Amino acid sequence: MAESRKEKREPLQEPSTGRKKSRSAGLWVVAAVAALGLALYAGLQLERTTVISEVSYQGLRFATGDEVDALFAPAVGLHPDSVRFITLIDSAKALPWIKEAGVRVEAGGRMVIDVEERTPLALLIQGSERAYVDEEGVRMPVRAGVSANVPLLHSFPATPMHERLEGEQFEYVRDFLKEVRQNDLAWITVSEVAWSQDEGVVALTQENGVKLLFGFGNYEEKLSHWRAFYNEVIREQGIGSFTSVDLRFRNQVVTRQG
């Protein structure tokens, strides 16, 4: 008797979609690369055809537009690749008021000059000559219509403009003025500053011109003594009661009354 065979049939499976997904992802990658390539090509074409159309400045207050225009305006109409920006920046930093400068060219060809000006520490007074000076000893010319609220500084020349103030005497005065700038009471009470070979740093008050003697160094502590004396004595007796206040001595204030 013949044996009957039963065939076991496996259930049918759906075709795999992995290949289709892989093909779809590949098309997206190709499209993205093509779009990126077109964007880069368009950017390169724009860069090749862009010329500098105008110049604008940011951060100018004391430096004049004419000064910086003389340096940067000739770049208008030129391709950025043909402009020596490092040379222009160095030339700008050679101007008395400009401490740092940067250049960027925006879309459309506008060249922007970002300027950091020097911060005046005092106004030098020498006869009829006037010049601002910063903590590096750089002299800066006074500009009509714009001013800085800083103490007047005597005993040092206001010219020549291209030379820096240097030396131990200026360093003492500079250190004093830097401390004055950080001290709110000193900033509103100190009006003028001078140097004396015998007395060191000497200042006059804004009110009544009282002479303040600060000597040679240690100005932070001496200004704290001035604050204490001002709050405890001058507010009670009035500044007009004094002609001089000597703060050169440790933990001691010597006054002269008029």
pLDDT for 214-226, tens place per residue?
A: 999 999 999 999 9
pLDDT score recorded for residue 38? 53
| Average pLDDT of the residues of the chain | 87
Q: Is the pTM of this model over 0.75?
A: yes
Instruction: Out of 3.40.50.300, 3.40.50.2000, 3.40.50.11690, 3.40.50.720, select the CATH number for domain 122-257.
Output: 3.40.50.11690
Instruction: For residue 126, give the nearest of 87, 85, 104, 155 by alpha carbon.
Output: 155
State how far the Cα of 115 lies from the Cα of 194, in Å rounded to an integer: 32
pLDDT score recorded for residue 46? 44
98 within 8 A of 76, measured Cβ to Cβ: no
In the chain, CATH 3.10.20.310 covers: 49-117
In the chain, CATH 3.40.50.11690 covers: 122-257
Q: Could you tell me which residues are beta bridge partners of residue 242? A: 257
Residues of the chain with confidence (pLDDT) below 50: 1-6, 12, 39-46
pLDDT score recorded for residue 223? 97
Instruction: For residue 230, give the nearest of 175, 187, 195, 173 by alpha carbon.
Output: 187
Tokens matching residue 3:
């044996």
What beta strand segments (E) does the chain contain?
Answer: 54-58, 98-105, 110-117, 122-126, 129-133, 139-141, 152-153, 190-196, 200-205, 211-215, 242-249, 252-257
| Peptide bond before residue 151 is cis, with ω within 30 degrees of 0 | no
pLDDT score recorded for residue 41? 41
pLDDT for 14-58, tens place per residue?
A: 555 555 555 665 666 555 555 555 544 444 444 556 899 999 999
176 within 8 A of 193, measured Cβ to Cβ: yes
49-117 belongs to which homologous superfamily? membrane protein fhac (3.10.20.310)
pLDDT score recorded for residue 107? 85
